[in-house]
Amino acid sequence: MKPRLAILVPLYNDWPSFIQLASAIDNLVPSWGAEVTLYVVDDGSTTELVTDHLPQLRHLTSIERITLAANLGHQRAIAVGLCELAQSKSFDAVIIADSDGQDRPEHMLELFAAHSRHPEALVAAQRSKRSENFIFRLSYTAYKYLFKLLTGKSIDFGNFCLVPQSHLQRLTHMPEVWNHLAAATVRSRLPIIRVATPRGERYAGRSSMNILNLIVHGLSAISVFTDILFVRLLILSGCIAGVALVASLVATIIRFTTQLPIIGLPTLIVGFSGVLLFQSATFAVIAALMMLSTRSSFPFVPAHHAARFIAKKDRITQRFDLSSMQD
C-alpha cells in the first residue's frame, strides 16, 4: 500500500504561481511512490481562481481548497490547514510549502525521502542558498542571531517542512503554532532532521515579504519563547541594577574617603545610578506580572478554535481516471 501524503500550501491572491506549482507537483508524483493530495488554504483572497487554467491531473489524487473567512496571515493559515489535516487522519505525513514556487517540488521529494529514512522525525528544509537580495539576506541573518541571543535557541529553517501524522496532534495543540510554525516546532522538542535545499525563484509576480514583514515575522518567532525572554530580561535588569548599586557605592566611598578633585561627579554618578536602579526594578516587576498573568489566562488552542475561521471547504479538481472512462 502506498504511503499517503498531503501537501499544504497557504495562499493569498497568488493563483498564477499556484497553478504552475500544481502542474509541477503533478508531473513529479510518480517518482514519489505515494498517493499525494494537494491542499490550498485560501487566506481570504480578493481574487478568484480561474479553474480552467488548472492542469488536468494525471497523478495527484485531487486538489482540495480550504477557504478562510478573513485574511489571517501566512502563519495562521498554515495552522488552520494543519488542524484540518490532523482531524482527518487520512495521511501519513504533511508537507508545508509556499504557493509561489520558492519551495520547489523536487525538494519536496528530498524531504519525503528523508522521512522514509527517519519516519518519526520532523524533516525541515535548511536553506543552503537564498534567492533574495543582499539587504534582505543580511536582515534575515541578523534576525537569526537576535533570536539566538534573546531565546537561547537556534532557528535555521522556515515553514518548508514535512510533519509526520504522529506529530500533528502535538503541534496543533500548541498555542504557539498560531504565531509561528518554525519556532513552535523548536519549542515542541520533537526530533528534527534538516535537509539542505536552495530557495527557488517565484513562478510569477513579486514577493510580499519585505523588511517590515520580516520584522513582524521575527517578533512572532520570539513571542513563542516569551517566558524565556522575560526571564533573560529579568536577569539583565538585575545585572544593570547591581552595576548601578555598585557604582553608587564606589562613588560615595570615593567622595567621603579620598581627597580626589571630583567635585560634583559622585553626585552625578549616584543620581544616574539611582535612575537606572529604579527603571530596572520597575521593569522587573512589570515583566514578572505580565508573565504570571499569561499563565492564568486560557490559551488559544488551534486544534479547538481554528475551525471557526473556515468559511468553506471544496474540491477544486481531481485526478482524471482514464480506465473508468473506458469501462
CA distances from 140 to 75, 174, 204 (A): 17, 25, 23
Q: Which of the four pLDDT bands, split at 50, 70 and 90, describes residue 313? A: very high
Q: With cut-offs at 50, 70 and 90, classify the pLDDT of residue 173.
A: very high
Q: What is the pLDDT of residue 266?
A: 63
pTM comes to: 0.82
Query: Would you give the DSSP letter of residue 204?
Result: S
Question: Given this model, what pLDDT does residue 249 score?
Answer: 81
Between 275 and 218, residue with greater pLDDT: 218
Give the pLDDT score at 322.
43
Q: Is the pLDDT of residue 325 over 90?
A: no
124-169 residue pLDDT tens: 999 877 666 677 778 888 888 888 988 889 888 989 999 999 999 9
Report the alpha-carbon distance of residue 69 to residue 284 in Å, rounded.
40
Least confident stretch, 152-156, 263-267, 295-299: 263-267
Contact assessment for residue 101 and residue 21, using Cβ atoms and an 8 Å cutoff? yes
Task: Return the C-alpha torsion angle 128, 104, 78, 187, nearest 10.
Answer: -20
| The predicted structure's pLDDT at residue 46 | 93
What is the CATH topology of the domain spanning 4-225+302-320?
Spore Coat Polysaccharide Biosynthesis Protein SpsA; Chain A (3.90.550)
Mean pLDDT score of the chain: 85
pLDDT, one tens digit per residue, over 21-54 is 999 999 999 998 899 999 999 999 999 988 888 8
At residue 324, the pLDDT reads 40
Domain ranges in the chain are: 4-225+302-320, 227-296
DSSP string, 128-143: EE--S-HHHHHHHHHH
What DSSP state is assigned to residue 314?
E
